[in-house]
Amino acid sequence: MTDLSPSASAARRLDPVALLALAVVALAYGRAIWFTPPEATQGFAQKILYVHAPAAWVAFLAFGVTALAGAFWLFLKDQRLDRLAESSAEVGVIFTTAVLVTGPLWGKPVWGTWWTWDARLTLTLFLWFIYVGYLVLRGVIPGREQRARYAAVVGILGALLIPFIHLSVYLFRTLHPLPVVARPEGPAMPAVMVTTFFLAFFAFTLLYVAFVRARIALAVERDALDDAVVGG
Amino acid sequence: MSAPGLLAAAWLIARKDLAIEFRTRSAFLSALVLSLLAIVIFYFAWDPTAVGAGDLAPGVLWVTFTFSGLLGLHRSFGVEAQDGAMDALLIAPVPRQAIFVGKALANLAFVLGVQAVALPAMVLFYDVGVGAAWPALIGVMLLAAIGLVAVGTLFAGLTANTRLAELLLPVLALPFFVPIVMPAAQATAKLLAGRPLAESFAWLRILLAFDLVFAYACMLVFPATLDD
């Protein structure tokens, strides 16, 4: 019987990255709530930006990592790459869900509607569909090698698809606020807001790393358990 | 006899698939009837006094093609499941990519065949005046069918070896059909409204780029979906 204890304890130990991420998240939102002034026209609703935009960034980062890890897996056939792709996709879907939930919460008071078929909204919704499909596909394939191979194909094609959906939905129409921070003329935002904004980005990126690490530890345990059952 | 090259092998595989389909005709007839049924049922799904039939025609047309296309795509690897036919294809001395190209060619013929009947039926039932837009409309159909079949063939092969294949194929493939259905429906609407073709160029460019990128990418990754 394979000894499961090393990986099992690794998953249960508190990850220092997770602790750091939680601390920075607390810092960023403490700052966002008490030390950053509300926006003049949008009022308190604007504060959701500090969740919404960083979550969207993490979603794109996560799916990019999934595609790259899948592509490298096809050449290297290293199981760790597949676990990274799997974990990153799952965390990406969670953050995309956060984007899709916080968007309407802001849209109702500011735009007057929960949902609109705006380009960015539509793109995010399709991103969610693509990667939920990716996770469903992973779920129905029992063989580890076959699952990694199929997932790599869908991950790569999904990343290729994003610019096409982006182009089509933009041509359809757009209403979403244009970038106010990342623009060539510099941020159109008071410095105090920009600082909070970047702090929130940093916090979410750390959170992403912590989540993916925890999810990989889980995948390692699952694989070890599978091996133990098959081997024993 | 020497081993055939990629295109020759693809042609043989396409001919084999089409011969099977021609002898049974079951999938083609089902897809055709499904298309006609969809066109007819959609007519009753809205208030005809509020919205003109011609305004909804492009949307109905593209939703119908997408779903009937999926039906044909699912069959394309389903026929290989019996009697270990897929294994026979895999040990044949042909490039793996030839299997993809052959299957895709047969699927293209299938989809275009359904469109060739469903489009005139649509024009007839919805009383759409196509006029001089026929050649442009057929061009849009062809461009859309190529992209649809490229992505669809790959996912049909990928899902064929999983349980839930018939459920998983639409879940995976439909998001990929967005940059096909959206430009195609928009261009169709403009053409049916009598607008000049030049107004649809932006949409057609997306369609053409999608065809080129995905036909190549899918052919490239297809061998990774085969199980030895």
Position A107 scores a pLDDT of 85
d(CA A161, CA A63) in angstroms, rounded, equals 12
Walking along chain A (232 residues) 10 residues at a time, the average pLDDT comes out as 49 81 90 81 80 91 95 94 96 95 87 82 89 93 91 93 83 64 69 85 93 93 87 57
What's the rounded mean pLDDT across residues B131-147?
Answer: 90
Burial class (CB in 10 A: 0-12, 13-18, 19+), B228: exposed
Using a CB-CB cut-off of 8 Å, the residues of chain B touching A171 are 183, 186, 202-203, 206
d(CA B219, CA B223) in angstroms, rounded, equals 8
The pLDDT-based confidence of B52 (bands split at 50, 70, 90) is confident
Residue in the structure block whose two tokens are 């956060």: A98
Position A24 scores a pLDDT of 92
Is A167 part of the contact surface with chain B (CB cutoff 8 Å)? yes
Alpha carbon of A97: minimum distance to chain B alpha carbons (Å): 17
3-state secondary structure of A78: coil
What's the rounded mean pLDDT across residues B65-83?
Answer: 83
pTM: 0.85
* Domain residue limits, chain A: 45-179+189-225
Position B1 scores a pLDDT of 52
A to B CB pairs, distance under 8 Å: 79
* Domain residue limits, chain B: 6-225
Quote the crossing angle between the two packed helices A16-30 and A191-231, to the nearest 10°.
Answer: 150
Single-letter residue type at B219: M
Position A68 scores a pLDDT of 96
Q: Are A181 and A194 in contact (CB under 8 A)?
A: yes
DSSP string for residues in A120-142: HHHHHHHHHHHHHHHHHHHHH--
Q: For A68-72, A217-221, B24-28, B168-172, which range has the lowest pLDDT when averaged over its residues? A: B24-28
The most confident of the ranges A105-109, A197-201, B24-28, B149-153 is B149-153
Average pLDDT of chain B to the nearest whole number: 87
pLDDT tens profile B204-216 = 999 999 999 999 9
d(CA B52, CA A128) in angstroms, rounded, equals 34
DSSP string for residues in A155-201: HHHHHHHHHHHHHHHHHH---SPPPSSSSTT--SS-HHHHHHHHHHH
- Interface probe for B, chosen from A122, A157, A166 (most Cβ of B below 10 Å), is A157
ipTM (interface predicted TM): 0.86
Whether residues A172 and B176 touch (CB distance < 8 A) is answered with no
- Cross-chain CB nearest to B171 (options A133, A160, A168): A133
Q: Counting every residue, how long is chain A? A: 232
pLDDT tens profile B91-124 = 888 888 899 999 999 999 999 999 999 999 988 8
